[in-house]
A and B are shown apart, each in its own frame.
Chain A
């Protein structure tokens, strides 16, 4: 896999307080990297360091091999971003805003602007003043602004903040599409777990300025064991049998049967035993752990307090 962004041991200290503590991770081509953490954990600070808005105390960030510190222009030209809300010049039209940003990069044609406007679906309103736009439209304009120069890396800080469900979905679809079709690396930050679950391929959890975990989304949500729910007749009997087999496991009674964490290869064994004991099985299904469960699990495991 091609690594597009390398965060190398980055530390940021403000007035003696360590905001970001030796953070390191990579983001690859074509993947959506979610940056997850409670408020105040340092998500926005990290993102601002990646785009050069905030300097770092030590460490380095490389974008396609160019350091953001020493080769700012070379590095940043591959990056498109929205940092927090997409603030635009409200007294100008959407189009004028785009022209303004287009002038600041090289080789953006009028056709390219029109194409981008079309992509985010703002063609009808692009010549209206930005102050007449809804938040969703501003978000779309913000997306257009960061796609103008065909960046290889897209950075979105809390992109769905304040959007309604339709708006959130729209952003999500755009992000996935861009990662798949244009092979972009996308870095998204959020404290909304459900949203990350649907958007990201990999997530990094940050807490109190430290990266405490980076995992593939699927691994992260599942862990090693999956939870299986077995629909049976006579759940008490069934749960007793399973407890005999695995005294350590947490077996729970559910509405229609029992639920327990299991490794995949153990599933046939359990079914066989239940069948031999004359338990009627109507179905076996995998229950996905929610991201929220896992998030709370991980953050509390690592011994930190979550303050919101």
Chain B
């Protein structure tokens, strides 16, 4: 199995396209770093000594809006306001200024948006890893080895996951280094304030970021799995890339739209992939729980894998 993965890895990294992707990722991070560094007007509350007052005012306006709107306010907005208020209160009580200096942590939080970018590249690899073998005609030589088809496909899937992990690692590592060089490391460790179930807790920033990266990658893994499934079942990388990217950008929006009207939206994959909604926001459809989403993700995952393996194992290689 390790040898098979080694093979797949070699085939990915002997192609120029892969380096272009990595180069693009690094380039975007550098541009982002440069932009933030030289724009340099961060900080929401201008006067340092007055921050408590500022937060107070902010809270009051949130509170006012909440009471005025009453039930008309969307669930999501309500929860986000409540969260803001709770965190602001916690800051005032515990004397934690929001005007932290912009450091490596801030940069990492900003660059974590780039996970989608890493995800995009992983999708491209996933979409090509089976379909390309068919395009190149090499599948004929690949499948006449003393290795079962299922094992070859499994090796390919594991390689996709490894590649995704590798992209995340590059993103995380490079942002950390770049952030430290450009913005420096904070003197006192700044805690991350986590709001969950109505209470605010302090969390180490590193732990929070790892958490955040992990939860965000679920979406990426599911999309890559879907692209992989299309690639293996339909042998068509363009279809796999096209559909996956479309759903990556539009899936969430579409689900949100459907969710306004229909409750069954909660069974759609994209209503469930963002597990962050349970920790930092409101679920997309009322009544969804973390357990439900995890179950749905597992169900979809198994479904994708079942289709991919079933079709790939049965298929006649005639092309």
Interface residues of A (CB under 8 A from B): 45, 48, 51-55, 72-74, 76-77, 79, 81-92, 96, 99-101, 103-106, 145
Contact = CB atoms under 8 A, between A and B. Distances in A.
A204 to B, nearest CB: 21
Given A55-B316, A92-B10, A92-B11, A105 B137 contact: no
A73 B147 contact: yes
B233 to A, nearest CB: 17
Nearest to B316: A54
A186 to B, nearest CB: 16
A101 B6 contact: no
A230 B135 CA distance: 58
B146 A104 contact: yes
B263 to A, nearest CB: 42
B261 interface: no
Contacts of B7: 100, 103-104
Given A53-B317, A92-B10, A77 B143 contact: no
Contact of A73 (B11, B16, B140, B146): B146
Interface of B: 3-4, 6-7, 10-11, 14-16, 136-138, 140-148, 314, 316-318
Contacts of B318: 45, 48, 53-54
A81 B140 CA distance: 9
Contacts of A81: 144
B289 to A, nearest CB: 45
Q: Is the interface of A mostly helix, strand, loop or mixed?
A: loop
A84 to B, nearest CB: 7
A274 to B, nearest CB: 59
Contacts, number: 79
A55 B314 contact: yes
30 contacts: A48-B317, A51-B144, A53-B143, A53-B144, A53-B317, A55-B316, A72-B146, A73-B146, A73-B147, A74-B146, A77-B146, A81-B144, A83-B140, A83-B141, A83-B144, A84-B140, A87-B141, A88-B138, A88-B141, A89-B14, A91-B15, A92-B10, A96-B10, A99-B10, A103-B3, A103-B7, A104-B142, A104-B145, A104-B146, A105-B145
Contacts of B138: 87-89
A274 B3 CA distance: 76
A103 B137 contact: no
B10 A52 contact: no
B168 to A, nearest CB: 25
Given A53-B316, A89-B11, A104 B140 contact: no
A91 B19 CA distance: 14
B317 A54 contact: yes
Given A103-B3, A103-B4, A79 B144 contact: yes
Contacts of B140: 53, 83-84, 87
A36 to B, nearest CB: 21
Contacts of B146: 72-74, 76-77, 104-106
Contact of A87 (B10, B137, B145, B316): B137
A306 B123 CA distance: 48
Given A53-B317, A99-B10, A103-B3, 4 more contacts: A45-B318, A48-B316, A53-B318, A55-B316
Contacts of B314: 55
